[in-house]
Structure 1
Amino acid sequence: MKERQHVTRLTTGLLFIAFAGFYIVFIVLSSSSIDWRGPSIWSTFTSVGNNFAAGHDYFLWRNDGSCHLYFEFGGRVYWDRNETENFTLAGIDGQKSVCLDPGLAPPPGMCVVYSFGLSDDWSFESAMAQYGCDVYAFDPSLQFPKMPNNSQRINYFNIGLGTINTKKDPRGWKMATLTSIRKYLLHSYQPIDYLKIDTGGDEWLILEHMLQDGRSLRLVKQISMEVHLLHSARLHYYRNLTQRLEASGYVRFFSRQNPWMKNAYELAWFNVNYSSKSQLPVAIRADGRKEADLMVNYKLPPIV
């Protein structure tokens, strides 16, 4: 009898220790104090090759809890036009997630937003302008852009985001790098509160160029990018670029599959260097003059 009680106590003790260990591991992994600068837990995805299901899971992953408050700005309602008598709501598209945590939230009246890719949907740009940001919108494919009513804070440029500066690419579009555009707008030393990239498949070459450049993203607080997994054979390449971005200090706080495109995903990151209440100091040129002082008669030279 005593031997049976001893075995029962020993078994209960072992189960308690196992449960306690599992609970501690769970708490550690769930803690918001995780080192965002460390290697991504998804770095093991390099071992799965180009498995598309695994790629889907990878791009749906987000760092839950990294942003305590985010809001989706913009979005346009789409209707199912297959219904001949009564249009039914099909969904909303075009909205972008913005983290509103201290240090990351765009300060109304002082914030700067860059938006690349419009498709004549100005809902996000209009919402950010109404919020109080100066919005710089770029899309070389629009011949007659339909500016929103509250366009006082929106500046449109018939220029696309690219990897080189050119007056005419194979599509006949004027393209420029992010570094050149920031220099053109006298923003080289000013933090960009939000950078939206929705360029319909060109985003991977653009991201690779910006990562190689090393300067383009240094003063960008948040990035929203619609990524397209157009080629299953290049999943490793897509994953590698995403991991490089996140290894450079960007935390993925939002992810969602685009309901309108099977292989497209909406992702958003924040720059961990801005993720506290203290802001980085305003950058000043080596000669001590703020970049705004360099503007002469408010006339800007051409980018290319």
Structure 2
Amino acid sequence: MATVWFYRCLRFMALSVLCFVFVFSVKPRALFGTSTPTLTRVAMETYKAVRPAFVEERPTTIPEFVHSTSLAGQELEEQVVVLDQLLLLMTNITMPCRKLVRQGGKRCRGKLDGDKKLCLDPFVRPPSNNCLVYSFGIGYMTSAICRRMPISVFPLTMTVADSFTCRLAASRSVSVERVIIPKTKQEYIYLYRPLDNIMYLLDQHRANLDVLKVDVDGPEWEIFEDSIFRTDILERTRQLSIEVHLSAFLDPHLNTSLPLTQTLQKYTRVFKGLEERGLRLAHHEPNLFYPKFAKFANRTFNVYYELLWINTHLKKKNVSEYTEINEKIFNEIEFN
């Protein structure tokens, strides 16, 4: 009997301790129908107003390029107008997407780099079968959005040699670049081809592109303006994922007069060219893995931006038109 009584007392004491801890650990709640005290409400509003905004994966120190300009008057005002127009074209959503998904990317130093966004809204999403994706440049974009992907371009290994790879040309001609790494003495040979020329060689010049990804660290402006814009490929592209680099603002000795004006105009022409071909901006975000900010004329902006464009007027041409046009282009590029 003494043993039973002892265990009952021990259980009672344990339950008492648990109840004590529970009562003092639970925060008191206001009764139904009672309002929050004025002092508490003011304190909460003050806290919300002064607490720092949370930015995902943003480092504590951010490189910033501050450009002081000696321009004034009409010339500076014209540059500011073009810069504001450029920033608006990069950030003004004209085709909202309700279902954005993150594709690809690679974890490095605890952060995700090289990932891209795609839109899965009806009528604009890539098909679940026979999905065609061309991926150029840096990044780790996967084909999870497509069950079957006939080809993902770049690096496109050619049959000439293992170190012979194909890159996207920023002109209408085929060229070869030979690069030797000084440290390792290793040699790389890069073959540059226009996008329509690559598609012709792969016998895909009749196909629509479901996704075109371009992340080439700078030459994207010339690639579009001097090459892709001279074809109808973008009119046949469902979604365009690009990272743009406002590289001019990374030069600490930036010439803020005529060269900057011409560069800003080139950046703006490319965005307007995308809109003229039926593409609308669906998503934008700064690159927070390598954040770089520039300050010019009291405007502070990110130099690297990830953009997703959606084609609102996707078209497909007749087979005879494809064959005739692309054979002519191919002959001009290869043999002239």
| TM-score w.r.t. length of structure 1 | 0.61
Cross-structure match for 2:177: 169
For 1:114, the aligned partner's letter is Y
- Secondary structure in 1 matching 2:320: coil
For 1:161, the aligned partner's letter is L
For 1:168, the aligned partner's letter is V
State the Cα distance separating 1:177 from its structure 2 match: 0.4
Cross-structure match for 2:272: 243
For 2:104, the aligned partner's letter is G
Cross-structure match for 1:220: 237
Gaps of at least 5 residues in structure 2 are 1-75, 180-188, 250-259, 293-302, 324-332
Stretch deviating more after TM superposition (136-145 or 198-207): 136-145
Conserved 8 A contact 2:172-2:226: no
Cross-structure match for 2:224: 207
2:305 to 265, 272, 279: 265
Conserved 8 A contact 2:178-2:190: yes
Deviations 1:275-299 (A, max 9, x none): xxxxx56x4422999xxxxxxxxxx
State the Cα distance separating 1:101 from its structure 2 match: 1.8
- Secondary structure in 2 matching 1:109: coil
Using a 3 Å threshold, how does the CA distance of structure 1 residues 203 and 116 change in structure 2: closer, same or farther?
Answer: same
Conserved 8 A contact 1:140-1:173: no
State the Cα distance separating 1:95 from its structure 2 match: 1.0
1:285 equivalenced with 2:314 (yes/no): no
Q: Distance in 2 between matches of 1:181 and 1:175?
A: 10
- Secondary structure in 2 matching 1:137: coil
Deviations 1:95-129 (A, max 9, x none): 111111222211112110000013xx53x135346
Cross-structure match for 1:101: 121
- Secondary structure in 1 matching 2:269: helix
Cross-structure match for 2:137: 117
Deviations 1:212-238 (A, max 9, x none): 414232211111111110114122321
Q: Distance in 1 between matches of 2:162 and 2:154?
A: 13
Cross-structure match for 2:167: 160
Q: Distance in 1 between matches of 2:291 and 2:223?
A: 21
Bigger-Rg structure (1/2): 2
1:181 equivalenced with 2:198 (yes/no): yes
For 1:69, the aligned partner's letter is K
Cross-structure match for 1:154: none
Q: Distance in 1 between matches of 2:322 and 2:270?
A: 36
State the Cα distance separating 1:56 from its structure 2 match: 7.7
For 1:265, the aligned partner's letter is Y
State the Cα distance separating 1:200 from its structure 2 match: 1.1
The 5 Å alignment of 1:12-91 reads 49=79, 54=84, 57-58=87-88, 60-63=90-93, 66-79=96-109, 89=110, 91=111
Cross-structure match for 2:207: 190
Conserved 8 A contact 1:59-1:255: no
Q: Distance in 1 between matches of 2:83 and 2:268?
A: 13
Deviations 1:180-225 (A, max 9, x none): 0111111111110000001111101001024541423221111111
Identity of aligned residues (%): 26
